[in-house]
């Protein structure tokens, strides 16, 4: 188990996740296709080159969100999460492009005991994703139900 138990987390704790990921054209096109998102911004290079301010296709923001949270799992919730409870304040201040490399940091924003489950607590993380230039490209608050360390018999 790589993740941490609820009672091993502290408010203000920051994780600089070691995993980084360079986003490929295949990632973006595949994700857009399997999620039935035909937006020209993700699929039509000519349209983006001539009709948008970006001059090229941008990475699907749902992929960016999933990647940002996914990169965080190994250090935070792998094997200790019971359930994801929700994402709030999801923002994408700058676009990602094919070839950009993403790094992620996570901060523990809030911890509270579960009222219905004595063996768990609710943790709120703030996840932040940056491109290779250090630009913030995505951030969100994510709440989850997290196991507490098992009590020894």
Q: Give 1's pLDDT tier (boundaries 50, 70, 90).
A: low
pLDDT at 18 over 90: yes
pLDDT in tens, 49-75: 999 999 999 999 999 999 999 999 999
Helices marked H in the chain: 25-34, 40-43, 45-51, 61-76
pLDDT at 100 over 70: yes
Q: Where are the domains of the chain?
A: 6-147
Which CATH architecture fits 6-147?
Roll (3.10)
pLDDT at 8: 96
Dump the DSSP string for 41-59.
Answer: HHH-HHHHHHHSSSSS---
The helix/strand/coil state of 28 is helix
What does the mean pLDDT of the chain come to? 96
- For tokens 């295949």, the residue is 26
pLDDT at 115 over 60: yes
pLDDT at 2: 81
């Amino acid at each position: 188990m790589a993740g941490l138990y609820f009672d091993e987390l502290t408010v203000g704790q920051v994780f600089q996740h070691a995993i980084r990921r360079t986003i490929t054209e295949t990632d973006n096109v595949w994700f857009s296709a399997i999620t039935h998102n035909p937006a020209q911004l993700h699929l039509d290079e000519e349209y983006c080159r001539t009709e948008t301010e970006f001059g090229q296709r941008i990475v699907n923001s749902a992929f960016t969100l999933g990647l940002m949270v996914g990169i965080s799992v190994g250090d935070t919730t792998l094997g200790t999460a019971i359930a994801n409870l929700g994402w709030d304040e999801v923002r994408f201040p700058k676009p990602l492009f094919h070839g950009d490399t993403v790094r992620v940091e996570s901060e523990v924003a809030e911890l509270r005991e579960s009222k219905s489950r004595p063996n768990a607590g609710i943790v709120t993380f703030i996840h932040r994703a940056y491109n290779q230039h250090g630009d913030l490209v995505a951030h969100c608050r994510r709440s989850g139900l997290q196991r507490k360390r098992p009590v020894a018999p």
